[in-house]
Amino acid sequence: MEKWYLMTAVVLLGLTVRWTVSLNSYSGAGKPPMFGDYEAQRHWQEITFNLPIKQWYFNSSDNNLQYWGLDYPPLTAYHSLLCAYVAQFINPDWIALHSSRGYESQAHKLFMRATVLIADLLIYIPAVVLHCCCLKEISTKKKIANALCILLYPGLILIDYGHFQIMYNSVSLGLALWGVLGVSCDWDLLGSLAFCLAVNYKQMELYHSLPFFCFLLGKCFKKGLKGKGFVLFVKLAGTVVASFTLCWLPFFTERAQALQVLRRLFPVDRGLFEDKVANIWCSVSVFLKIKDILPHHVQIIVSFCLTLLSLLPACVKLTLQPSPKGFRFTLVSCALSFFLFSFQVHEKSILLVSLPVCLVLSEIPFMSTWFLLVSTFSMLPLLLKDDLLMPSVVTTMAFFIACATSFSIFEKTSEEELRLKSFSVSVRKHLPRFTFLPRIIQHLFIISVITMVLLTLMTVTLDPPQKLPDLFSVLISTELTSANPPLLLRKTGPELTSVPIFLYFICGTPTTAWCAKRCHVRTQDSNWQTPGRQSRTYT
């Protein structure tokens, strides 16, 4: 593309921001005995380097699973092993068995930060650049602006470089993005291979698996089940099986091995939710203590059913009418459904929703920007624990400025541009005066931004009242609720432990609704009219 130098400047700017954020402290810095996610990552390098594969997921005298046991799929373990080889070359003390627990030094911090940056540079950033280059019907300048906004998304930067999340999120998200790119550009086998690698890197990528499945299934149906479609289906199945086998090969020797790994990956014993996450279960538990009412296996069934129900419409639509645009919107919708209704969801899982939202940034800039800002804000309690106030506020503002100037979001809030036209038209059939939807949305946006700022200020400067120690975390999750905070305060009592509320419910339900509506709009895809002619363009 022309203006490659501007794209280079954008990438370098993204790298600069990442590196400056990494100069701050990390999770668990100087906090024995358990330290934090940073220590977990170092510990995995120690385990994978010093112990044979058979012992990686098992409890033994050398491998105490209570102290940051490995609970991600094998590809993470292989990546840790690779990093361990490099660490061994530089300074073996960093990964010496047992004696390196809690090792903290400037050089080691530099090494760990460097591994994240290199992984990012090799996997995530090229995927983002390629995605922006392949966008159709927008000018080069807009493509570059799009890349800038995606690369400046604060959530991923703060978690990977500030907090130092237990896994290199950029790797799994990057691989998933390569999968999206491959599948959208008709390189189905490569795309599905990339996505399988992503799932094998981090099991939470399963949030994205259903849209992939439905889209590829839809493509097979389109080509005809008796001819090329069937061939494609077999090839895809083969690719998936092969990639899984390759990753899990060392663990297939014994049944106990594979089962133990699965047990570590999916800890269903843990319960419906933990900590303060802004999803449905925690919200409902304010009024109705679900954890106490329903027995454990019923909880699992209920959450499974609700998740399935919420994502079914979009997936069915995608299977019947596959298109890259519909695919991206379905990714958003499914990931959000999983986040809201699924089992044992972590705060950081919002990143899995944010990635697809970044992909639709060019199509609904206003809503996407709003969502991405709120998603970063929701991680604030986590970031404040690591003294990351300054970087988080600064990166959020930078992201907002980038989006505001690139997309002129405040000017593009008509019904047509918010993609809510069909929704408002159908409402207007019953309520003819319903013309003020854009204005409502604009006002809501301003209110939510003001609330976010106020809550940040309050959390940082004031101490919460003694009766309500988690007041501010509560309010942060509440910021979009229509219920008044005073009402909430009256309902909550001294036993208040964790009360995240309808943040994403309010944000998420309209999103799900409009995505579903969006998929119902006919996507006239000229590429699909001539079977056999594979066009490598992106719609």
Looking at the Cβ atoms of 16 and 59, the one nearer to other proteins is 16
For other proteins, which stretch binds (CB under 8 A), given 1-9, 74-82, 164-172, 266-274? Answer: 1-9
Q: How far is the CB of 474 from other proteins (least distance, A)?
A: 20
Q: How far is the CB of 447 from other proteins (least distance, A)?
A: 13
* Binding residues among 22-41 for other proteins as defined by CB under 8 A: 22-24
* Binding residues among 6-25 for other proteins as defined by CB under 8 A: 6, 8-9, 12-13, 15-17, 19-24
Candidate residues 38, 94, 281, 400; the one interacting with other proteins per rule CB under 8 A = 400
Candidate residues 1, 90, 97, 110; the one interacting with other proteins per rule CB under 8 A = 110
The residues facing 145 across adjacent strands are none
Q: How far apart are CA 151 and CA 11, in angstroms?
A: 7
- Which position has the token pair 């339900």? 509
For other proteins, which stretch binds (CB under 8 A), given 97-105, 189-197, 341-349, 402-410? Answer: 402-410
Candidate residues 256, 288, 401, 483; the one interacting with other proteins per rule CB under 8 A = 401
Give yes or no for a cis peptide into 33 (omega within 30° of 0).
Answer: yes
Q: How far is the CB of 86 from other proteins (least distance, A)?
A: 16
The contact mask relative to other proteins for 120-149 (x = CB under 8 A, - = no) is: ---------------------x--------
Looking at the Cβ atoms of 61 and 461, the one nearer to other proteins is 461
Q: How many residues bind other proteins (CB under 8 A)?
A: 45
Q: How far is the CB of 452 from other proteins (least distance, A)?
A: 10
Q: Which residues contact 244 (CB under 8 A, 6 or more apart)?
A: 196, 200
Q: How far is the CB of 394 from other proteins (least distance, A)?
A: 5
Burial class (CB in 10 A: 0-12, 13-18, 19+), 416: exposed
Tokens standing for residue 172:
């799994």
Q: How far apart are CA 229 and CA 232, in angstroms?
A: 5
For other proteins, which stretch binds (CB under 8 A), given 175-183, 386-394, 423-431, 528-536? Answer: 386-394
- DSSP for 118-137, written as a single string: HHIIIIIHHHHHHHHHH--S
Burial class (CB in 10 A: 0-12, 13-18, 19+), 244: middle
Looking at the Cβ atoms of 298 and 401, the one nearer to other proteins is 401
Candidate residues 79, 113, 419, 518; the one interacting with other proteins per rule CB under 8 A = 113
Q: How far is the CB of 110 from other proteins (least distance, A)?
A: 5
Looking at the Cβ atoms of 44 and 400, the one nearer to other proteins is 400
Q: How far is the CB of 377 from other proteins (least distance, A)?
A: 12
Q: How far apart are CA 491 and CA 522, in angstroms?
A: 46
Q: How far is the CB of 366 from other proteins (least distance, A)?
A: 11
Q: Tell me, what DSSP letter sits at residue 163?
A: I
Number of H helices, E strands in the chain: 25, 0
Residue 416 — φ and ψ, nearest 5°? -60, -45
8 Å CB contact between 238 and 250: no
Asked if residue 90 binds other proteins (CB under 8 A), the reply is no
Q: How far apart are CA 340 and CA 352, in angstroms?
A: 12
Nearest residue to 72 (alpha-carbon basis) of 201, 244, 169: 201
8 Å CB contact between 87 and 111: yes
Q: How far apart are CA 327 and CA 359, in angstroms?
A: 11
8 Å CB contact between 419 and 511: no
Burial class (CB in 10 A: 0-12, 13-18, 19+), 295: exposed
The contact mask relative to other proteins for 445-484 (x = CB under 8 A, - = no) is: ----x---x--xx--xx-----------------------
Looking at the Cβ atoms of 24 and 285, the one nearer to other proteins is 24
Looking at the Cβ atoms of 133 and 404, the one nearer to other proteins is 404
Looking at the Cβ atoms of 12 and 242, the one nearer to other proteins is 12
Nearest residue to 536 (alpha-carbon basis) of 191, 147, 151, 128: 191
Tokens standing for residue 98:
């047992």
Q: How far is the CB of 243 from other proteins (least distance, A)?
A: 34
Candidate residues 51, 404, 489, 496; the one interacting with other proteins per rule CB under 8 A = 404
Nearest residue to 380 (alpha-carbon basis) of 467, 270, 447, 458: 458
The contact mask relative to other proteins for 405-434 (x = CB under 8 A, - = no) is: x--xxx------------------------
Interface residues toward other proteins, by CB under 8 A: 3, 5-6, 8-9, 12-13, 15-17, 19-24, 106-107, 109-110, 113-114, 141, 389-391, 393-395, 397-398, 400-402, 404-405, 408-410, 449, 453, 456-457, 460-461
